[in-house]
Amino acid sequence: MSAGGASVPPPPNPAVSFPPPRVTLPAGPDILRTYSGAFVCLEILFGGLVWILVASSNVPLPLLQGWVMFVSVTAFFFSLLFLGMFLSGMVAQIDANWNFLIFAFMTTACYGCSLGLALRRWRP
């Protein structure tokens, strides 16, 4: 009870009061002028170099080279897709947390492939 006799309402639950995530990066070619856009471009450039170097190397166990190629090609492809979505302006039309979606997809894909390879190796 306050001094005036009226009860004070409880504070709102902070977990409910946060606004939905928004894309704060610019859409279109302006993305290339930000640090995030520059890092994505560098990631694509170096990802392509890794892809080329891994493909041209000679390893004694080809299964390991296949796994590294899968990871590098997948990361390269999704980096291109991510940059393309920002360049085309599609991120402003789709209301989603893109960083979380890509992280969740890559984590699920890596764990799923690891599980599949582990089960294949475990089978007698």
Provide the domain limits for residue 87. Answer: 25-100
- Asked if residue 88 is part of any domain, the answer here is yes
Identify residue 111 by its one-letter amino acid code.
Answer: Y
Residue 46: predicted pLDDT? 86
DSSP 81-120: HHHHHHHHTGGGTS-S-HHHHHHHHHHHHHHHHHHHHHHH
- Asked if residue 83 is part of any domain, the answer here is yes
The answer, yes or no, to whether residue 2 has pLDDT greater than 70, is no
**pTM of the complete model beyond 0.95:** no
Per-residue model confidence as pLDDT tens digits over 15-67: 666 666 665 777 788 888 888 788 888 888 888 888 888 888 887 877 777 77
The domain tally of the chain equals 1
- Asked if residue 32 is part of any domain, the answer here is yes
